[in-house]
A and B are shown apart, each in its own frame.
Chain A
Amino acid sequence: MNRLLAVARLHLMVPARAFGLPWGIVTLAWALSVALFASFGDNGDVVIVGGLFSLYVILFLSAEQAVTRTLSFALALGATRRAFYLGTCGFLAAQALAAGAVLAVLRAVERGTGGWGTRLSFFDVPYLVGGNPVQAAAAYAASLALVCAAGLAAGSVTRRWGTVGTSVLSAAAIVVPGVAVWWISAAGGLAPLGNWLAGQPAFALRTLWPLGFATVLAAIGWTAVRRTPA
C-alpha cells in the first residue's frame, strides 16, 4: 500500500502540473465562454459549447505522459512496473472521482444560475451527463476514467512498441468497431441493436459502459507495460 501511495505522491509532486494545468485551462475556457455569451445578449436558445472537451484532452495527455515519462523515472527509483501501474490507475481513478464531484457541483450551479446568467451550457453536456448531481458525478467520473485509461493504453503501447504500435492501436480502434458495425448490419442486427441500446437505462450508458471500456483499455496498457524496458 505504501508503495502505491508513493507512486500517487510522485504524480502529485508538481501540483502546478497535476491540478493547475487542467483546471486552469478549463477555467480559462469557461471564462471566455461566459464572456462570449454575455456579449451575445439574449439568444432565446441555450447553446452548448464544447469547452469541457479541453479537460478531457488534458487528462488524456497527462495519463499518456505518466507512462512515457514518469514510468522510467519511477523504475530508476526502484518501483516495480506492477506497483507503478496499479498506483497510477488508483491515482487516475481517484482523480476522476474527485473531478466528477467538482464538475457535478459546477453543473448544479450552472443550472441554478440559468447558465451563468448567459444561458451558457458549459458543464451541463446533455448526452454525457444527466439526472441528479450524484448520477452526474458518476457519469463525469466514468467518462474521465475512460479518457485516462485511453491515455494509459496509448502511452504504454507507444513505450513498448513505438509509433508502430500506436498506429496499429489507432487503426484497430477504427477498424474493429467499423467491422463490427458492418458485420452486425449484414446480419440485420443493427435495428434490434439500436433498440436495445435505446432501451438501456441512462445510468448504464453513461456510467457502466465507459467504466467497462476503461477497464479493457487499462488491461491493454498493462500487457504493454509489464515487459517494457526501463
Chain B
Amino acid sequence: MNGPSDPARPSPLDVEGVTHRFGGVLALDGVAFRLDEPGIHGLLGRNGAGKTTLLQILAGQLRPGAGRVEIFGHDPFERAGTQAQLCLVREGQRYPDGFRVHHVLRAAALFFPHWDAGYAARLAADFELPPRRAVTKLSRGMLSAVGVVVGLASRAPLTLFDEPYLGLDAVARQHFYDQLLADVAAHPRTILLSTHLIDEIADLLQHVVVIDHGRVILRADADDLRREAVALTGPADDVEAVVGNLLGTGPGTALARERLGGVARVTVRVGGTAPVLPPGSAVRVEPVSLQRLVVHLTSSPAAPRDGATAAGGAPADADAGTTTTPQGALR
C-alpha cells in the first residue's frame, strides 16, 4: 500500500499533507493516503470529521490550503483531462432551472466520456425515477437516487460518493450496494464511498480510511480490521488480568471499559493478534465489528496536536450499574 508508485501507471488517488481551513476552523490537518487498486473503498468518520471537504478537494472542486493532491498523477483542480476521469456525487446538488430527471441524464452524457446511457436508463427505472418529473419536485429519496444513478452510470475511473444514501430507504440502499458491487465487478474502477452507516457496507469495502477531526487515524484493509480489536467479557478480575497481560506485553490499547455488577467488558485494540487465554478461563473473547471499532476510535474529543492521548472520562463506579469510559486510542 505504501510502496513507491510507478510513474507509468499512476495511482488513482494519492494525497499528502492536505490541510484546509474554513475561516478560523481547521477542517483537514495533514491528510495523507493512497488508493492503488481499483475496487470499492471507504472513507469513514463522524459527521463534521472532514469527509465532505476532503472529497471536494479530491474531486478538484476545492483547492486545499496546503498539500499535494494527485489524481491519476495530476492535480485535479481546473484540469479538464483529469476532471473527465472523475465523478463526485454529493447531497444537495443544485440543478439548472427547469431541469427534469431526463435532462440531468442527458447533461451527464455530454460531460462524462464513459457514460452509459442504457445503464443509466435501467438504473433510473430500478430506482423508480419518473423521467419527466421536474427535479425541484423530487422527494429526498429520489434526489439521492438521481445522484446514485449519475455516479454509477458515469463509469468514471475514479468515482467519489459523499454519503450517497441519505434519503434512500433500506431497500433502495441495498439495491445501491448490489448495483455497485455488480457494476464494479463488470467495469473495474476505483470507488471511494464516505459513510457513517458502516455496518451496512463493511463487507463491501476493500480498503478503509478513517478520519477524525480532520486527521487520518487509521488506514487498513477492511478485512484485516475485523481482527483489529476484541471485546473481553467475564468476571471483572479475570478480565482485568487478561487485559493487563495484553497491554503489558504488546502494543494493545484499551478502547472502552464497561461494568455491570461483577461482569466487565473491555474492548482492547490488539492489531490482529488474537489474545491467548489461560485454559479454562472464564473470559470470553468476542469480535468487534468495523462500525464499533470506528465508534470507539472516534468518540473522544480531538487529541492535542503533540500526540498525547486524551484523558478518559469519569472513572467506572462498580455499584452504579453500567458505565462506559471511552479512552483516547490514537496510535
Binding site for B on A (CB under 8 A): 3, 6, 9-10, 13-14, 16-17, 65, 69-70, 72-83, 229-230
B70-84 residues with Cβ-Cβ distance < 8 A to A are 78-80, 83-84
Residues of B within 8 A of A6 (CB): 110-111
A17 to B103 Cα, complex, angstroms: 13
Most buried by B among A77, A80, A81: A77
Q: Are B107 and A13 in contact (CB under 8 A)?
A: yes
Q: Are A73 and B93 in contact (CB under 8 A)?
A: yes
B263 at the binding interface (Cβ < 8 Å)? no
Residues of A within 8 A of B7 (CB): none
Interface residue stretch chosen among B94-102, B240-248, B284-292: B94-102
Q: Return the contact of A229 from the options B62, B84, B93, B97 (Cβ within 8 A).
A: B62
Q: Are A79 and B83 in contact (CB under 8 A)?
A: yes
A82 to B84 Cα, complex, angstroms: 14
Are A78 and B83 also in contact (CB < 8 A) when A14-B96, A73-B94, A230-B62 are?
yes
A17 to B84 Cα, complex, angstroms: 28
Shortest distance in angstroms between B27's beta carbon and chain A's nearest beta carbon? 13
Q: Are A76 and B93 in contact (CB under 8 A)?
A: yes
Nearest 4 CB-CB pairs, A to B? A230-B61, A77-B111, A78-B83, A6-B110
Shortest distance in angstroms between B151's beta carbon and chain A's nearest beta carbon? 11
Q: Are A10 and B107 in contact (CB under 8 A)?
A: yes
Extra pairs beyond A13-B99, A14-B96, A17-B98 (4, CB < 8 Å): A3-B80, A76-B93, A77-B111, A80-B78
Q: Are A10 and B80 in contact (CB under 8 A)?
A: no
A69 to B96 Cα, complex, angstroms: 5
Are A230 and B56 also in contact (CB < 8 A) when A6-B110, A72-B94 are?
yes
Residues of B within 8 A of A65 (CB): 96-97
B87-127 residues with Cβ-Cβ distance < 8 A to A are 87-88, 90, 93-100, 103, 106-108, 110-112
Residues of A within 8 A of B78 (CB): 80-82
B86 at the binding interface (Cβ < 8 Å)? yes
Q: Are B111 and A69 in contact (CB under 8 A)?
A: no
Chain B 16-41 interface 0/1 with A at a Cβ cutoff of 8 Å (1 = within):
00000000000000000000000000
Q: Are A73 and B62 in contact (CB under 8 A)?
A: no
Are A10 and B61 also in contact (CB < 8 A) when A17-B98, A73-B95 are?
no
Q: Are B96 and A73 in contact (CB under 8 A)?
A: yes
Q: Are B98 and A76 in contact (CB under 8 A)?
A: no
27 CB < 8 A contacts A-B: A6-B110, A10-B96, A13-B99, A13-B103, A14-B96, A14-B99, A14-B100, A70-B96, A73-B93, A73-B107, A74-B111, A76-B61, A76-B88, A76-B90, A77-B107, A77-B108, A77-B110, A77-B111, A77-B112, A78-B83, A78-B86, A79-B80, A79-B83, A80-B78, A81-B78, A82-B78, A229-B62
| Chain B, Cβ-Cβ closest to A227 | B63
Chain B, interface residues (CB within 8 Å), range: 20 to 34
B266-294 residues with Cβ-Cβ distance < 8 A to A are none
Q: Are A17 and B97 in contact (CB under 8 A)?
A: yes
Residues of B within 8 A of A69 (CB): 94-97
| Chain A, Cβ-Cβ closest to B63 | A227
| Interface of A, helix, strand, loop or mixed by DSSP | helix
Residues of A within 8 A of B86 (CB): 78
Residues of A within 8 A of B108 (CB): 77
Residues of B within 8 A of A229 (CB): 61-62
A13 to B105 Cα, complex, angstroms: 11
Residues of A within 8 A of B83 (CB): 78-80
Shortest distance in angstroms between B68's beta carbon and chain A's nearest beta carbon? 20
Are A75 and B80 also in contact (CB < 8 A) when A14-B98, A230-B56 are?
no
Shortest distance in angstroms between A163's beta carbon and chain B's nearest beta carbon? 18
A110 to B25 Cα, complex, angstroms: 63
| Chain B, Cβ-Cβ closest to A7 | B110
Residues of B within 8 A of A230 (CB): 56, 61-62
| Chain B, Cβ-Cβ closest to A10 | B107
Shortest distance in angstroms between A108's beta carbon and chain B's nearest beta carbon? 33
Shortest distance in angstroms between B139's beta carbon and chain A's nearest beta carbon? 20
Residues of B within 8 A of A70 (CB): 96
Shortest distance in angstroms between A24's beta carbon and chain B's nearest beta carbon? 13
A74 to B94 Cα, complex, angstroms: 10
| Chain B, Cβ-Cβ closest to A3 | B80
A205 to B95 Cα, complex, angstroms: 39
Shortest distance in angstroms between B215's beta carbon and chain A's nearest beta carbon? 23
| Chain B, Cβ-Cβ closest to A68 | B94
Shortest distance in angstroms between A225's beta carbon and chain B's nearest beta carbon? 11
A77 to B59 Cα, complex, angstroms: 11
| Chain B, Cβ-Cβ closest to A83 | B80
A10 to B109 Cα, complex, angstroms: 10
| Chain B, Cβ-Cβ closest to A11 | B96
Q: Are B111 and A75 in contact (CB under 8 A)?
A: no
Residues of A within 8 A of B100 (CB): 14
| Chain A, Cβ-Cβ closest to B61 | A230
Shortest distance in angstroms between A2's beta carbon and chain B's nearest beta carbon? 9
Residues of B within 8 A of A13 (CB): 96, 99, 103, 106-107
Residues of B within 8 A of A78 (CB): 83-84, 86-87, 111-112, 156
